[in-house]
């Protein structure tokens, strides 16, 4: 039932120690929220899990589905079912949302995606997410509102259907409607076989999802874990107490 098992993970970037012993276990079907002050190492954790080459692995273990993936490339991890949301998607004129998603799906599954079959699947996913079909033929991110960019991310998530999805501040700088797109999307995609790690500064997430765990990262360590009460406490008191205790 364990999907992700992280033991004593240490990492470095440009000779600076960032993650200083992370232990985290994520079971299938669970949603974990990670909070923490700026610079705590939250994005680093997401990047390390996704195999971003900028972050140097120093020690510890990352297992996905019982398999040690510490030495696997970013590509290899995507194929094993790890998805990391991009924080700031780029504009790509000339590439439609549909083409982008078909290519991404082909890369992850290592199977050429048939045009018509892919389109049918895409339309059915768009229907599930209440998205207009015409959206798939727009150029990627060109002239997209914040909410539309998020729709693309959620649609990408639905298309790739990863085992483990990590959303890094996907809700930052969004209005309430766009936030709803993100979290209602996650709610629909959540199932017994996958798991989500949601990095956020806001407890807006609690309105849409019932996370199983909330963790607080501070100076490269998980300093607190609990249920939604942890997020509510932070909303009320900020990180003051956490910084003082540690
Ligand atoms: P958070 O997402 O919690 O705000 P980050 O993981 O982005 O924190 O950053 C943790 C620490 O690592 C910060 O001190 C940040 O400056 C440093 N860091 C992250 N990425 C890089 C990088 N590519 N080059 C240099 N330092 C980095
Ligand atoms: Mg940051
Ligand atoms: Mg960050």
Which residues does 39 contact at the CB level (< 8 Å), separation at least 6? Answer: none
Residue 242, pLDDT score? 83
Report how far Cα 151 is from the mean position of its chain's Cα atoms.
14
Contacts of 213 (CB under 8 A, 6+ apart): 30, 31, 32, 33, 225, 226, 227
Rounded to the nearest angstrom, the distance between the alpha carbon of 134 and the centre of ligand 2 is 34
In the structure, what pLDDT confidence band is assigned to residue 245 with cuts at 50, 70 and 90? confident
Determine the distance separating the centroid of ligand 1 and the alpha carbon of 3, expressed in angstroms. 26
Helix (H, G, I), strand (E, B) or coil at 146: helix
The pLDDT mean for the chain works out to: 92
Looking at the CA of 168, which ligand is closest? 3
Average pLDDT, integer, range 99-105 = 93
Per-residue pLDDT at 92 exceeds 80: yes
CA–CA separation, 45 and 43 (whole Å): 5
Per-residue tokens: 88? 């700031």
Q: What is the pTM of this model?
A: 0.94
Could you say which ligand is closest to the alpha carbon of residue 40?
1
Average pLDDT (238-242) is: 87
Protein residue with least CA distance to atom 21, ligand 1: 13
Query: What phi-psi label fits residue 15: left (phi over 0), alpha (psi between -120 and 50 degrees) or beta?
Result: left
What are the structural domains of the chain?
2-245 (3.40.50.300)
Helix, strand, coil content of the chain in percent (nearest 5) = 40, 30, 30
Average pLDDT for 100-119: 93
Mean pLDDT, to the nearest integer, of 155-161?
A: 93
234 Cα–ligand 1 center, Å: 21
| CA 41 distance to own-chain centroid | 15
For the CA of 170, the nearest ligand: 3
Tens of pLDDT, residue by residue over 11-52, are 999 999 999 999 999 999 999 999 999 999 999 999 999 999
Mean pLDDT of 164-183: 89
Q: What is the pLDDT of residues 187-219, one digit of tens each?
A: 999 999 999 999 999 988 999 999 999 999 999
The strand pairing partners of 215, in sequence order, are 34, 225
Ligand 1: which residue has its CA nearest to atom 19? 44
Bridge partners (DSSP) of residue 57 are 11
- 89 pLDDT above the threshold of 70: no
Q: Tell me if 196 sits within 8 A of 158, measured CB to CB.
A: no
């Amino acid at each position: 039932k364990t999907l992700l098992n992280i033991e004593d993970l240490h990492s470095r970037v440009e000779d600076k120690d960032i993650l200083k012993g992370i232990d985290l276990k994520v079971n299938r079907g669970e949603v974990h929220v990670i909070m923490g002050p700026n610079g705590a190492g939250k994005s680093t954790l997401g990047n390390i899990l996704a195999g971003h080459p900028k972050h140097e692995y120093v020690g510890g273990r990352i297992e996905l589905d019982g398999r040690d993936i510490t030495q696997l490339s970013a590509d290899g991890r995507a194929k094993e079912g790890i998805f990391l949301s991009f924080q700031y998607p780029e504009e790509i004129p000339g590439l439609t949302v549909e083409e982008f998603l078909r290519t991404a799906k082909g890369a992850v599954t290592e199977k050429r995606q048939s045009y018509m079959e892919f389109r049918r699947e895409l339309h059915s996913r768009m229907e599930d997410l209440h998205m207009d079909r015409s959206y798939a033929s727009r150029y990627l991110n060109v002239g997209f509102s914040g909410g539309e960019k998020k729709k693309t991310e959620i649609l990408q998530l639905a298309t790739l259907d990863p085992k483990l999805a990590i959303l890094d501040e996907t809700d930052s700088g969004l209005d309430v409607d766009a936030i709803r797109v993100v979290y209602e999307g996650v709610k629909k995609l959540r199932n017994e076989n996958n798991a989500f790690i949601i990095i956020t500064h806001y407890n807006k997430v609690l309105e849409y999802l019932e996370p199983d765990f909330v963790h607080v990262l501070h100076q490269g360590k998980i300093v607190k874990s609990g249920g939604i009460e942890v997020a509510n406490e932070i909303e009320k008191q900020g990180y003051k107490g956490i910084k003082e205790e540690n």
